[in-house]
């Protein structure tokens, strides 16, 4: 069931999204070669707690198929698409790091992600970052009243594939707000004019996950980290938005 939010609920979601946006920028500012992903997780958790909020990912369960998620953020490096668990792994020059943050404050959720270069990265990786981020905003442009969910999907897919990359198909964006994951599913591929109709008051997380190589993915032995099947590099960008009468409003920006 797709949940339509009231103005008061959207204000609560907006507050959680503000914290998400601030955490992402704080973590991004600390990304450099030699820093461990665990250090970044501690920085994020401390900031979330200082805002009287809760890290939405910590303790998240996949229904018994793996351990509950043990960290506050996801840190996914190079061939890790999403859900990478922070640890002692130290960042190296030339890598791409995806940072994914979810926050729960007052019982309402915000969710966003970005990918950043670690030091100097290759021309191909820079293009991957640029294309993935641009595809997110092209998808957001389609998030308008009376459009369909797959109008978002098609916009992302068409741009990504025109630039020679692939969109992950086993994972997708989602509704967000009262719960971390809600209906509708928002895939990054699809046919225009199909899917649920978009309505005022819907809050959704749009999140292109884009690979240099194949769109196929596998799950690592930790039960969480999603890896590209061919070992190619991946990038991930995400915003929580609300659908208004006119253009969509991005909530996860400072």
> Tens place of pLDDT for every residue, the chain, 254 residues?
999 999 999 999 999 999 999 999 999 999 999 999 999 999 999 999 999 999 999 999 987 667 899 999 999 999 999 999 999 999 999 999 999 999 999 999 999 999 999 999 999 999 999 999 999 999 999 999 999 999 999 999 999 999 999 999 999 999 999 999 999 999 999 999 999 999 999 999 999 999 999 999 999 999 999 999 999 999 999 999 999 988 999 999 97
pTM of the shown model: 0.97
Tokens for 190, please give them.
Answer: 């699809």
Domain chopping of the chain, boundaries? 7-250
CATH 3.90.230.10 fits 7-250, yes or no: yes
Length of the chain: 254
Predicted pLDDT of residue 29: 98
Q: Counting Cβ atoms within 10 Å, is residue 17 exposed (0-12), middle (13-18) or buried (19+)?
A: buried
Neighbours of 32 (CB within 10 A): 10
Give φ, ψ of 165 to 5 degrees. -110, 180
Render pLDDT for 18-50 as a digit per residue (tens, 0 to 9). 999 999 999 999 999 999 999 999 999 999 999
Please, are residues 64 and 71 in contact by the beta-carbon 8 Å criterion? no
Angle at 129 between CA 103 and CA 68, to 5 degrees: 35
Cα four-point dihedral sign 167, 102, 25, 242? positive
How do 203-206 and 239-242 pair as beta strands?
Answer: antiparallel
End-to-end distance of the chain based on CA atoms, in angstroms? 30
Give φ, ψ of 53 to 5 degrees. -125, 175
Percentages of the chain per state (helix, strand, coil), in multiples of 5: 30, 25, 45
Predicted pLDDT of residue 156: 98
Neighbours of 81 (CB within 10 A): 25
Residue bearing tokens 């599913």: 185
Predicted pLDDT of residue 62: 82
Predicted pLDDT of residue 202: 98
Predicted pLDDT of residue 178: 97
Render pLDDT for 210-243 as a digit per residue (tens, 0 to 9). 999 999 999 999 999 999 999 999 999 999 999 9
Predicted pLDDT of residue 63: 75
Question: H-helix or E-strand containing 102?
Answer: strand 96-105
């Amino acid at each position: 069931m797709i949940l339509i939010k009231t103005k008061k609920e959207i204000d609560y979601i907006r507050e959680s999204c503000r914290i998400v946006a601030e955490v992402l920028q704080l973590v991004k500012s600390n990304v450099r070669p030699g820093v461990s992903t665990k250090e970044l997780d501690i920085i994020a958790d401390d900031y979330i707690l200082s805002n009287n909020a809760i890290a939405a990912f910590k303790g998240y369960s996949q229904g018994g198929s793996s351990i509950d998620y043990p960290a506050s953020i996801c840190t996914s490096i190079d061939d890790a698409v999403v859900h990478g668990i922070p640890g002692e792994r130290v960042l190296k020059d030339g890598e791409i790091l995806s940072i994914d943050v979810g926050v729960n404050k007052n019982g309402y959720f915000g969710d966003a992600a970005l990918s950043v270069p670690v030091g100097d990265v290759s021309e191909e990786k820079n293009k991957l970052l640029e294309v993935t981020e641009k595809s997110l905003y092209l998808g957001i442009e389609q998030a308008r009243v009376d459009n369909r969910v797959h109008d978002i999907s098609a916009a992302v897919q068409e741009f990504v594939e025109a630039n020679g990359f692939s969109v992950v198909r086993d994972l997708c964006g989602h509704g967000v707000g009262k719960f971390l994951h809600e209906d509708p599913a928002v895939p990054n591929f699809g046919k225009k004019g199909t899917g649920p109709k978009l309505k005022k008051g819907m809050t959704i997380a749009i999140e292109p996950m884009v690979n240099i190589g194949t769109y196929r993915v596998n799950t690592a032995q930790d039960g969480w980290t999603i890896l590209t099947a061919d070992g190619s590099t991946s990038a991930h960008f995400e915003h929580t938005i609300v659908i208004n009468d006119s253009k969509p409003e991005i909530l996860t920006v400072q």
